[in-house]
């Protein structure tokens, strides 16, 4: 367990300790936005309909996912 903790600490110091990481995250977001043809904008109205409960999406298989 100690070795695993040291490994994660090493990765954290290498990735989060550098300024290039934020540019990598932003670049990845921009890449996938163009690659997937702006899904944040195209499916926004669909997401709002789902949240409001007015969607025509079948939810009969989602009953297994409910937490009781």
For the chain, the domains span 2-56
| Residue among 27, 9, 29 at smallest CA distance from 17 | 9
For residues 1 and 7, give the distance between their C-alpha atoms in angstroms, rounded to a whole number: 10
pTM above 0.75, yes or no: no
User: Could you read off the pLDDT tens digit of each residue along the chain, which spans 68 residues?
Assistant: 999 999 999 888 888 777 888 898 999 999 999 999 999 999 999 888 888 888 776 666 666 655 65
For residues 31 and 39, give the distance between their C-alpha atoms in angstroms, rounded to a whole number: 12
The residues near 53 (Cβ < 8 Å, ≥ 6 apart) are: none
Backbone dihedral angles phi then psi of residue 15, each to the nearest 5 degrees: -85, -55
pLDDT at 6 (0 to 100): 93
The first and second tokens of residue 3, run together, are: 């070795």
């Amino acid at each position: 367990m100690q070795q695993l903790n040291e490994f994660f600490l090493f990765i954290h110091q290498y990735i989060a300790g550098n300024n290039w990481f934020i540019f990598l995250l932003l670049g990845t977001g921009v890449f996938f936005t163009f690659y997937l043809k702006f899904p944040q904008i195209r499916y926004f109205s669909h997401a709002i309909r789902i949240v409001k409960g007015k969607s025509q999406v079948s939810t009969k298989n989602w009953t297994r996912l409910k937490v009781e």
